[in-house]
Copies of this chain bind each other. A is one copy, B any other.
């Protein structure tokens, strides 16, 4: 058993290596399918939105000057010259002293620059409308180009498309956008002890958990998982499966090599490929130290711990941000987007200086106080420790731990 395979680098250095891989190719997709994916090109507004002044309320289109200063006690009186349909393009100009009934979304006629809500009006009959509230230009109306002006850069390449962005794209009449395609992600489990999950329980075998959890986390990150099943600890078999997976995917994840010998096998398999290179072998995080990063013909290959809980943490901390990076997301490794809750640490959490620790934490809700965060008890290899965890607490590499009573940020998982 050799231990010289580690050449531990910091998490930041490992991320820099990951960040050197390029994003997947751009493809055009309908905007609803772009939800959650990352724009490959800037979006320029092709037109003014709205194309004309438009009402935000049911009420009366007015020239704000005509209603200025109106109150319940001292109303203004306007003549209603039209009842505008919501889909009507009014072909007249509102004159001073006139108003026009309008519905939400309706287009204001020329000469109108505000809307008085129907609640603040009263129909007196024979076309006279009592206006009981003062108005100001632009009030209850969206002005031409107010949402987006023609030529505006609405979104930049690298922006992840959210539901509200899909809404704005739809309003601008943009049917398809260019996004980085979902990375196809090959998943290989390795280990002589591994059996399929429907195998009967047998001492000496372990069911292949990682194929399933990695599948979930790869799709959660936005990529398309492709499972290659279990490969036994044989170099030739691993080489042929890895070769196929590299050919068919944008990214390959190998998990396993829980034993030292097997980690060597992963390195050997990567190195045996044409145009390949080991970029990193070991990262100063716990769990996750034995993580391997290789490059085969320009494509990234990650060798992940086989230990069923360690690999989950490494997926969360390194691989899922990396997937978002190769999906084209700007600042994919930034921790700013992580959902955090502030909590009070319930007990001391010691840590080794020089490595970043990801500690499984349980949150206990309390009345009128921030939650109490307790490290999850139990051996780190137990799956139940992840099941019981509400989140992870990160102990930075430059500290020796955190103290009971400290306010800490818990990353919800």
Contact = CB atoms under 8 A, between A and B. Distances in A.
Interface string A197-224: 1111111111111111101110110000
A170 B207 contact: yes
B170 A212 contact: yes
Given A1-B58, A174-B197, A382-B142, A216 B166 contact: yes
Contacts of A89: 202-204
Interface stretch (A100-108, A278-286, A351-359): A100-108
B105 A306 contact: yes
Contact of A199 (B50, B173, B413): B173
B204 A383 contact: no
A17 interface: no
B103 A259 contact: yes
A51 interface: yes
Contacts of A207: 170-173
A192 B85 contact: yes
A197 to B, nearest CB: 5
A209 B383 contact: no
Interface string A178-203: 00000000000001110001111111
Nearest to A103: B259
A47 interface: yes
A387 B51 contact: no
B208 A147 contact: no
A94 B397 CA distance: 40
Interface stretch (A243-251, A294-302, A339-347): A339-347
